[in-house]
Amino acid sequence: MGDTGLDEAFGPATWARIEAAWTSWGHLDQDVIAPLINPAFMGGPAWPGLRQAHSITRRTDAILLASSGLADPTTWDDDESTNGFEVEVYAIASDLPVDSDTMTVAGSWLGRVVMAVSNQVAHLGFRFTDTLAQSGLLTMALPYVELPDVPDPYIDSDDGAVVMIGLTDPEIPDAVTGPLSPIRLVNLKLLTRAEGRFCASHPEGSDYARREVARRLVEQGRPLYSGLDRPSVV
């Protein structure tokens, strides 16, 4: 990890292709959300290339927050170089003020959800990428993440917030072609408490339940968007 030569050779092409996907949706901010001290040096998960950031893209009706660094060019000790873990994650909020400054976005429920999942992806590495490829859809509980201003229908007393991972829609590309390997752009959808419990405890199994919730979310419309006033589909 952290290979300067690899960054110089493949970093600009990587970032340009990911940024092109975001700018096809809205206006990409020049400023990013990044820690003053890399959490990897304080016991946190190490991101590929040791660059940990999040980018903000805006439209007149929504904000998109995405990880920036999970797909950085990376040299592995026991395998070929790749575009990191071959994934960047993102979520879209339909109910945050679109003129929110960078720190306001970082401290919002959107910022905390995306950052929490980003760090889980960095912790799991290719286990996450491979599991998502096999299953197509995942759910993840965020039990220790405090989400400001999120109402009760979205918070489970046992598991905290739950997100669905992997919903797709033509509005955002599913993937881009990285210079070293494909990079999947993975949506995070904030679920209601009822939707999360449906996925976790359905008698026909979690795979069936996730697919059924996903079907209903697509039918509801705007499946890539999260919002705190969205009616539950369960």
- Model confidence pLDDT, tens digit, residues 56-96: 999 999 999 999 999 999 998 877 999 999 999 999 999 99
pLDDT digits (tens, 9 = 90+) for 194-208: 999 999 888 888 899
Which pTM value belongs to this model? 0.94
pLDDT at residue 208, as a whole number: 93
**Tell me, what DSSP letter sits at residue 150?**
-
Position 159 confidence tier, pLDDT thresholds 50, 70, 90:
low
**Tell me, what DSSP letter sits at residue 155?**
-
Mean pLDDT across 27-38: 89
Do residues 120 and 138 lie in contact, with contact meaning Cβ atoms separated by under 8 Å? no
**Location of structure tokens 């952290």:** 2
- CA nearest 63: which of 90, 89, 34, 31? 90
Mean pLDDT across 125-131: 96
Q: What percent of the chain has pLDDT over 70?
A: 96
CA separation for the pair 125, 11 (Å, rounded): 19
pLDDT at residue 67, as a whole number: 98
